[in-house]
A and B are shown apart, each in its own frame.
Chain A
Amino acid sequence: GENVEQHPSTLSVQEGDSAVIKCTYSDSASNYFPWYKQELGKGPQLIIDIRSNVGEKKDQRIAVTLNKTAKHFSLHITETQPEDSAVYFCAANGNTGFQKLVFGTGTRLLVSP
């Protein structure tokens, strides 16, 4: 089955800096890669996703890149703000048999004013 590894586990940046979180996946058949943000005391919420037919997707200050050959994808947050502080999870769908999301172990992002 699919296996997703996520790095780093924690990331501290200054407000205004950029943050990058990286994930690798094992199943070459995976074709959907979402990113979820989890704020304290809440459930994860989708912030951006990418499908295997594109290499990059942007939504305001966040972007995701996908390298299918290397089987890795990354989340980029520019001009970070304190409200970006949260836990971020990447996932892949393991497109073999019944598709279900397999999540990375999460990255705790702390943005200091």
Chain B
Amino acid sequence: GQSLEQPSEVTAVEGAIVQINCTYQTSGFYGLSWYQQHDGGAPTFLSYNGLDGLEETGRFSSFLSRSDSYGYLLLQELQMKDSASYFCAASDTGRRALTFGSGTRLQVQP
């Protein structure tokens, strides 16, 4: 099974950079994904790390270190619309579903 830990809340100001950490305990870990969810909405895919290192997609980057069982999502040039919940999610070799972390609520202030 999998368990993933994230901070529950993060607050930052517009234009700033914020990092959301995720640590995991797992068996058969395959890769780490990040999803964004606005209140009442569906989760939307942001980024995936199958290998160690940094993946960059526009303002969002994600990092994975398998040796440390750790990853993070980096959001740059924060905008008000980035206020949402962010979930890390692990895939494992045993099944095709994702196991989601507890979620981090990001509040961007003017």
Q: Do A and B come from one complex?
A: no
Q: Which residues of A contact B (CB under 8 A)?
A: none
